[in-house]
Chain A
Amino acid sequence: MASKQESAERGYTLDPVTFEVLKNSFTTIVDEMAEQILRTCHSFVIYARDFSSALCDPNGDTIMQGSGDIAVHVGTLHTTCKSIIEAFEGDMHPGDVYAMNDPYLGGTHFSDVRIVRPIFHDDAVIAYSLSNGHWADVGGRIPGSFDISAKEHFGEGLRITPVRIVDKGRYLADLVTMIVSNTRAPAAAEGDLHAQIEATRIAEQEVLRLVDKYGRDTVITSFSEVQDYVEQLTRQRIGRLPDGTWETEDYIDYDPSGGEGLIPIKVKMTINGDAVHYDLSGSHSIVGSFLNSAYGTTFSGVIAGTKTFFPDVPLNSGFYRAVTVDMGPPGTVVNAEWPVAVTGFCSGPYEKIMNSIFELWSQIVPERAMSCSFNLEYLLVGGRDGRSPGRTFFMWYDWMVGGWGGRHDRDGSNATSPIFGVGLAVQPLEGQERLTPVVTSTHEIRPDSGGPGEYRGGCGVQKGGTLTEAESTVISYLCDRSRSITFGTRGGLPSLPHGVWLNPGTEDERFLGAVFSGLDIGPGDFFTRPSAGGGGLGDPLDRDPAAVLEDVIDGYVTVDRARKDYGVIVEAVDPDVNEYALHEDATEQERAQARSVRLERLAEPPEGVAERYRNGQLDVLDLVRHYGVILDWGSGELLPQTTETFRAMLARRAVAYW
């Protein structure tokens, strides 16, 4: 508790008014940067809010980060700034601007291009402004620069180590041309670069205005006091919580270089006085795909997960002093090093870390509890557009919303952006149809996708499309949780498996899985996939039958699954006028019956269950929710090791609470 005493006694030298005014000014500055980016960007990924802005102090520590920033950049901007300082210290000049995208220096992935501007006053750097944006493409083998099969980064895309792109005010056009020429859309890339450079200039103007008004010493003092403030605020909140150690684990589906079997990511959290410490050692070694995470993004996952339980605390490096992380030894999925491919961290370890942290904090702060939320997914279809005379390159680069986990006193949120970036907006299909030869089949909520629970997980959605006039087209998918299915807690049940289906319901039907890369498809091919709902929270047999009835009327839950998952008997009397009847006696009987068999089902020999799936007696939701059996959903082949781990997980998260 010593550190707590120290920090509480650390006095502020600024008067409270100046402090508050400057703190709020820094928020305004980073939000002004965000506004500028949104109004001028070219990348549709940036426009969908996959970007962030920060103001850093002369040490590279963040003073303030944008209030609308994407979660996944949190906790990575100061490392970028420090890398730039290390590269250019002693050779920085007013009017310089630098760029980098290196995940091995604390970046995220190659698509996230970071622009840094030193802010000078009287020939000394007093701050840095930083703009990070996800370019639509940075080259490499696969359009969109997501190569799921990559094991090393070579060929994934252009790696930009720290470089100078503006030298004392002179735009280095030759170098920029070299960088953007390595992308599939050079003009758009250069447009984004311009937008980002100008955003950093706005911050420079505003910081210098504050220096003019309040004096340089006051502003520099406020840079550190704003960080101290966040640290103190965080420590006070943590200090009120009980000391202790909590641990859990979550899983990536499998290692393409190994056999079947879930890949554990372990998170141990210790609260000691006014600090919280995470230990990720014991996590699995790197996997043979790009679903690995380097230290920067692992740190980000921990910070973003923790921050969810401190929603009103501003974000800067002060937070990182109260929240510390031991990544464990190098060479694991959460601490991968050069040249291991890490571009897919966002669908791999990142959300496993966040959801694990949600689960741990849900025990400590139950009134903010939340079960697992759907995993980020990106579907990419890229090729030549047969509708255009020049057969121009097209990219249908699609991500979906999904369901969030059930909560302490309410259902999970339906159809919401991924926890990876709540500001990440889905694209309008009418825009996609103009730009690409893909006709969207559906974009709708998927019934029964919410994990059953006393508080149901939010619903996921279903979206797909048919390829029309196209040539040389490939499809790739970056996702996970086809086997490590979005889970419930406190007795709640899982959602449904992720994965893309090609030509479902035809002779050519194929299940492509949740991670694959560069498969050829042609005109007329139809692909579709669900996003998971959130996991349920609490025993579904305790859910208020009236709430199940409402869900049935709205079509969030079907009559059939109301019975199977909730033991609630609903009769569709006259659906045309929304007339449904709830049968209370039958519901009681059904629930008693369900209670009497549910433990046995989870212990049934898995091969027999798989057989009943293959011959149509059981469906996929029966298997994951009531039998705890995981198959290759295409072939129907049992995955014994995966099933064993999955059943143990259900025992821990569901059965223990029944």
Chain B
Amino acid sequence: MANLRVAVDVGGTFTDICVLDEASGSVSVAKVPSTPDPIDGVLLGVAEAGVDLRDVVLFSHGTTVATNALITRNLPDAAMVTTRGFRDIIEIRRGTKDDLWDAYKDVAPPYIRRRDRLEVNERIGYSGEILETLDEDDARRVSRILARRGVSAVAVCFINSYANPVHEQRMKEILQEELPDVAVSTSSEVLPEIFEHERFSTTVANAVLSPLVTGYTQRLSDRLAESGYRGDLLLLHSGGGVMTPRAVEQLAVRLAASGIAAGAIAARHLATLCGFDNAIGLDMGGTSTDISLVYGGELRVTKEWFVEYGYPIMFPSVEVLTIGAGGGSLAWIDEVGALRNGPQSAGADPGPACYGRGNEQPTNTDANLVLGRLGEDLIGGAMSLDREAAERAVASAIAEPLGLGLDEAAQATIKVANANMADAVRLISIRRGYDPREFALAVFGGAGALHGSALARDLAIPTVLVPPNPGITSALGCLLVDVRHDLSTMFLAEADTVDPAEVEGEFAKLEDEARERLAQEGVSPDQMSIQRFLDMRYLGQWRSMSVRAESPLDIPAAAARFHDEHEREHNYRRDDAPVEIYRVTVHAVGVTPKPELARYERSGARPEPISLRSVHFEEEDARVETPIYTRSDIPAGAVLEGPAVIEQLDSTVLIPPGVEAEIDDWLNIRMTISGEA
């Protein structure tokens, strides 16, 4: 019997499957269209990949179910119970707008309407003291109203509950007595941290997602079990680890960026496999590009993110910068004659002009087709692109108005698109004190490998990595992950004067809880790994930075790390300024054993091109007869000198003149970029 690991990622258009055979280390993939009930697509995909679920030892899953529910507001009837006088905290938010100048662009409304936000008499002070005792009659009255309304989830959000959860807990008990089948999320359980809007917002998101996500994971677990899978369904959460359906019941909101995190994890996986500690992930699809950053083998995570502007979800989430630049982004000339690129996109439908589905505006894909970088027939004949339509679009919208030749116009289009992406990479790397020259660029998505080498040259990144299946990024990301929980607690004290025993005590409490959670998820003690972090800042600063702490604790060493990190990220340090501890955090990991990926033998065979095509290269400022290869023909160990193009089912790899591409033992393509163009 085979031992298989299966990872399934459900996206808006496709459901991707990645299968790893633990015995041989070989990876196979499949792709099927997503279905109205995503679970059907999951099982179809599993069948398409030829997997018998009885052979599966580990099934992991990334899903956009939670993200989509928040965006479309396809949410269950939910209510909020809060301290009297504060039911509008989640509507007032911090007051700001995403669009500063357009008075007709509003922030989205809260996830729970004002009419469903009820108040009770109670008040906790900043230090946790009870200023006004919870009025139990009031609490019961509100609970009965909610029972009459038939809500399916309730968020309990009291002021200062992070300092003393007693009222929220009592309110929860009363709600559970009156509404026994309803999911109750309290803010002190979901996120015991200061700042009411951020805590309430996270709790409300958790509450509205809870019935939906719990139901989804339950149904999927049942369907998998029916087909013979005997293990736990593992769900990829925003922080880059997985959790079981039992944990999801408590913290549904952690799945809010599940699908987005997967792509970043794939970048880390590819970089680590290829021996790079530092990498920038670039996942370029049809309408947007996701950029992520791996440093020292770890993905950057952030606590400041949201699905919709104004409604923060304050759980650590893999940091991904998404920009509106993709293959379908439109090239256009503005009123004053400047050449622009995106953010408007032709999307997948109607898609680029060359799809022939009604869009006549040129896109980046059209420009790549005009330049010969994309072929007219995609391999397998699944789709053919209309080169003449692409040329017409580029000619009429770009070349003629600017007085450029066709190739020049297409090249200009690509250059602007690349520059926008390079700016975004700068924001996430150089701006944070990372030097791109020490990084590899890991490219994914249908279009990533077409643009990767030019971007790398612009940013002085020496190496570009292309995995064997660039279009199956997220499923790959789900494949090799650990169970992971992030726990934290507020702890304000000056690093110089704090009693280390007190901090040690806070860590111990979190670590106990972390071990308990891992144990509930079936992780045995020898597989548990717990890392400590202290969030620190210069006294008086508003933002903090997370630095690693040791066990047993060495606060001066952590403070020294903080000074170094501050200098690396912000260019300066203040050694004489007092450092404040802001938060105590632990990352609890249940390590899943990782099988070795299969290495392929270097046959020494030279791949033969399937054809020659005239391709325009910026480096030559001219067209060059370029050999075209099929990815599956190229064995490990092969070396190709640019110019060359490698085509495969879901992607095209462009190797410009002067670039050398080597196929490694895992069939990744590694391009070495030398010097400035």
Contact = CB atoms under 8 A, between A and B. Distances in A.
B131 A555 contact: no
Contacts of B95: 400-401, 415-417, 424-426
B540 A188 contact: yes
B543 A38 contact: yes
Interface stretch (B10-18, B190-198, B369-377, B604-612): B190-198
A236 B160 CA distance: 54
B115 interface: yes
A20 B336 contact: no
Contacts of A445: 88, 91-92, 114
Of the candidates A12, A17, A413, A414, the one having the most CB atoms from chain B within 10 angstroms of its own CB is A17
B395 to A, nearest CB: 16
B502 interface: no
Contacts of A36: 431, 570-571
A413 B98 CA distance: 13
Nearest to B105: A311
Contacts of B123: 439
B570 A40 contact: yes
Contact of A194 (B340, B569, B574): B574
A94 to B, nearest CB: 17
B96 A24 contact: no
Given A194-B574, A308-B103, A444 B85 contact: yes
Interface string B419-436: 110010011000100000
Contacts of A556: 114
A24 B540 contact: no
A254 to B, nearest CB: 28
B96 A423 contact: yes
A429 B196 contact: yes
Contacts of B85: 440-444
A308 B101 contact: yes
A71 B577 CA distance: 33
Contacts of A25: 419, 423
B97 interface: yes
Contacts of A27: 423
Contacts, number: 208
B77 to A, nearest CB: 11
Contacts of A404: 103
Contacts of B427: 28, 31-32, 35
Nearest to B194: A430
A444 B194 contact: no
A233 B338 CA distance: 10
Contacts of B569: 39
A21 B419 contact: yes
A553 interface: yes
A137 to B, nearest CB: 13
A335 interface: no
Contacts of A213: 676
B362 to A, nearest CB: 14
A247 B538 CA distance: 51
Of the candidates B87, B105, B336, B427, the one having the most CB atoms from chain A within 10 angstroms of its own CB is B336
Interface in A29-50: 31-32, 35-36, 38-42, 44, 47-49
Given A229-B336, A311-B99, A404-B103, A444 B540 contact: no
A461 B88 contact: yes
A443 B145 contact: no
Nearest to B106: A413
Q: Please classify the interface of chain B as helix (H, G, I), strand (E, B), loop, or mixed, using the class held by over half of its residues.
A: loop
A38 B106 CA distance: 23
Interface in A378-429: 400-401, 404, 407, 410, 413-417, 422-426, 428-429
A198 interface: yes
B412 interface: yes
Contacts of B412: 15-17
B225 to A, nearest CB: 39
B86 interface: yes
Nearest to A15: B412
Contact of B86 (A187, A188, A191, A442): A442
A36 B432 CA distance: 9
A198 B571 CA distance: 7
B230 interface: no
B407 to A, nearest CB: 13
> How many A residues are at the interface, by size bracket?
35 or more
A311 B102 contact: yes
Interface string A137-174: 00000000000000000000000000000000000000
A415 B91 contact: yes
B125 interface: yes
A16 B386 CA distance: 27
Contacts of A15: 412
Contacts of A414: 91
Contacts of A48: 94
Contact of A443 (B92, B96, B162, B676): B92
A48 B95 CA distance: 10
A68 interface: yes
B340 A368 contact: no
Contacts of A198: 570-572
B100 interface: yes
Contact of A422 (B96, B197, B198, B402): B96
A236 B419 contact: no
A202 to B, nearest CB: 7
A266 interface: no
Interface in B402-444: 402, 412, 415-416, 419-420, 423, 426-427, 431
B339 interface: yes
A39 B148 contact: no
Of the candidates B194, B198, B676, the one having the most CB atoms from chain A within 10 angstroms of its own CB is B194
A407 B104 contact: yes
Nearest to A21: B419
A431 B194 contact: yes
Given A233-B335, A307-B101, A426-B94, A415 B88 contact: yes
A397 to B, nearest CB: 14
A415 B145 CA distance: 27
A641 interface: no
Nearest to A408: B104
Contact of B148 (A229, A407, A577): A577
A191 B334 contact: no
A553 B114 CA distance: 9
Nearest to B333: A16
10 contacts: A16-B402, A42-B538, A191-B541, A198-B571, A423-B96, A428-B195, A428-B198, A430-B162, A431-B194, A576-B149
Interface of B: 84-89, 91-97, 99-107, 113-115, 123, 125-126, 131, 145, 148-149, 159-160, 162, 194-198, 334-341, 402, 412, 415-416, 419-420, 423, 426-427, 431, 538-543, 566, 569-572, 574, 577, 676
Closest 8 CB pairs of A and B: A442-B85, A401-B95, A425-B94, A311-B102, A311-B101, A433-B126, A417-B95, A21-B419
Interface of A: 12, 15-17, 19-21, 23-25, 27-28, 31-32, 35-36, 38-42, 44, 47-49, 67-69, 71, 185, 187-188, 191, 194, 198, 201-202, 213, 229, 232-233, 236-237, 307-308, 310-312, 368, 370, 400-401, 404, 407, 410, 413-417, 422-426, 428-431, 433-434, 439-445, 461, 553-556, 576-578
